[in-house]
Amino acid sequence: MNDKQASSQDRFENGYFWQLYRDLESQFQNFLEYVPYFEGNEKVYSFRLLNLVLCIGGHVDSALKEMARYPRFAGNKECMRIYELIKSGKTVPISLLLQVFDREYRICNAKVIFKRLPEGEQLQPFQPCNSRTLSPKWWKVYNALKHDVAISIKSANLQNTLNALAGAFLLNVRHKPAALMLYDIGFLRISWPEKLRGKPAREEVLREQVEEMLEKNSPLLVETPLFLYLYGMD
């Protein structure tokens, strides 16, 4: 694939964002081998987590902008405004991005399960901590680290990194073209395994059924080594 072909494709549909996300998750997993996410460790910070938060924040920012380019949103005035800001090289406010996709996908209240032993933990990675910008706490941390590492280094901790990563995971499973791509490669599964498990992902009728189920928030799930997302749980 050449650069021109890559840039002309939706980067959720071709798996680009998913591959980036899986690399970020793998880096965090590696860190957890040395500093497990136990009670009392949540505030542990490091330069490695600092770099990871910066990468995750950039990933989320890029993912939200790519979502705004999705053809289904072509008639959305806010997405058109986002597109114009991107084309002109201007900053796209996080409040605008989150407002659009909370309306489309209800991301501010969406829950991700962190597979923490013994019972797992529910996270709401886009739960706003600022009513004006709608931004979550970890986004504020990401911005602070970009502008003054020396002052903000302690906020590059396990808890903030986990929530940022959960936010990246959520966008990669909640956006419709991303979810369909995950079905095609076997990550998105039906919660009624006896009905569809083992069927080829290329069967068009089944894919159309999945597309309809996504619209209705039917019981579907995506699972990685760290996270689980259940569609229709929010």
pLDDT in tens, 84-141: 999 999 999 999 999 999 999 999 999 999 998 877 899 999 999 877 778 999 999 9
For residue 51, is pLDDT > 90?
Answer: yes
pLDDT of residue 192: 54
**Average pLDDT across the chain, whole number:** 87
Question: How far apart (Å, rounded) are the C-alpha atoms in residues 125 and 105?
Answer: 14
Question: What average pLDDT score do residues 177-205 get?
Answer: 68
Question: What average pLDDT score do residues 151-162 get?
Answer: 96
